[in-house]
Structure 1
């Protein structure tokens, strides 16, 4: 196992390279590399260039195996401590000018894939000899071997030797044809399967005990939430995100500007509003489940001022008026100075179930151009602001998905009924001519 790290200096101060010594072998490798670097690749064919790239990578991988042997020898001899370093990695940082992270990673790799000595000085194989052999042959890269070793070290203690060997062989085989990402994904999947197959019943109980949702409300009606979901709830939420959180189609040259987190937030909002519209929730205190907003009469008329949500949050009057428009999931109550009810959004402003069914039959989905959302994902929308007409009718409304109802209006889009169908008028910054456009995606053939 012993490897000579340095030749003794001659009398003139030079270092003679003894035949067969590591220094002589490395000098020969450097000479070969100098020849390769001086060579002309321009005359080589494409396949020869690719093959050169492959062999260069194989050599790079094999050199890691040499690195393991040398670092193992440094540790065996106590070279770092003899030179005043606490750890071998500190010697590597100074001698090789590598980062602290890289130095410690190399030492860890050498301890797993390099040769070892028993307490009696007996040479032992590496902790993971098959991985070490694959790296010495250039089959796996440093990153791949690190992933495989980490996965094998994380296997639960009750996993059988045969099962561990099977996982190792699968990962090594995958490393021969796939990159580190695929190997890492397979390693994580294997660990999860081992945990699930071998987990005692107490593990399920602990997981269920951890489940919970905490809501930290702010005075402005917004909140911060932390979730600890069990597998069933996690899958339901992720499935809902798959359905509702995808980026919306580009409209008027404008792409969906929302981040992934914002799309998931809006997907959750849309899903909850669907549940409220479907009236699947049980009554709350004997009242059909709705979102309740209370607002001052003057603020209701002008849109200036504040309103209060049913859970004590304070929102702007214009937001309260916006939420009250078009859907029966929100009831807004306007009160005068004596707390008398002066207006109730549900009396005339809401579209009825029959009207929504008419919209579904006519529109077949969201009316915004290019939006594929089906009727069940949509809210009812007044084509002309209710504040202007004071009417809620099928002839002046249509279906709009939650995203388009929120974002398109904010962008400046407006709506108009033309020949009994809802058309959308883009803002001037998208179309200076403001030509009305209609969603033809749901048109029947």
Structure 2
């Protein structure tokens, strides 16, 4: 714990000597760094996230300077003394300070001092309540109790506090996933939840015919399905005409991949600003939906040539495919056309052209899994037809399973319904033969 103490104290000291108010005299500027976090990162090689937390704690446990120049005690003197002595651990100190500091202005220094003293005593133990020191999680729970006791209602309205606390954190990459924390206002969360539920519930989708016999039960966990709806929502928002332009173009994610890896269909791709590498399957989905642009770089790192963007369905083609397909063409999927990507039925690498007769609408999830899910797509006279995976065929072989026309377009469905009704009428009025 002494090592933790020194890390926090030194981070707080570097932060204090690198305040923006000090101008060119700040320590970070003298060392050629833009701020204290960069300076500490270069010295310690720790992550900026960790260093920011240490600096925040360090500022709370170091002596303060008044406007008169006088030295004042630390904002949390009991935690500061226990931390310096090595009796208080980093996590317990963070639990105390992170919980109590936001309510200081509402409960006053005297009440906060009572809570701090009791929490430090519990964390360093023993106390009357416990013969052993509290763990960091127990300290945080106890701190929450003090928070409720000292500030049951809050002089600041709950809604105003919620407005200040709302946000979506920057992502932290771990195990191939980017983890973010979201704190949504209740009305925003309600809208988001309703939107997700609407597209996860097939009964919310109006249809012209009876229930789709080929509509599969969704194999995804609820959380996975919610993620995929959100992914489609993001795609739709990025393509919207109302989306802000970046460099004169719609918001575009740039993925870099070596041509040799793309040709071999192995290796990884990379997104600027994202720590996680992309699988080749993800790269190929980007290529299919967003096209490619070839950049030729010489052995010496010099940029030699840049091709124009190709393999991209233009706006006119997208409108035509949207009118024909009406949404993701996989039966049972309710993702609308505006949120769907355009998939090359015959891949470009196999000679497929970027034409309306070779493009179909697929949602993000079905586009990502089209080669592994078992769903088959075939264009017959320019019309999309599908076959379900083997597990949905009721024991029928591939040869025994017919291709089925697939569309979510209401006008197309209306035409099909009229044609079916006309056929039934003709069959009913024709003379029967014995």
> TM-score w.r.t. structure 2 length?
0.50
Q: Which structure has the greater CA radius of gyration? A: 1
Which of the pair has the greater relative contact order for Cα pairs under 8 Å at 6+ separation?
2
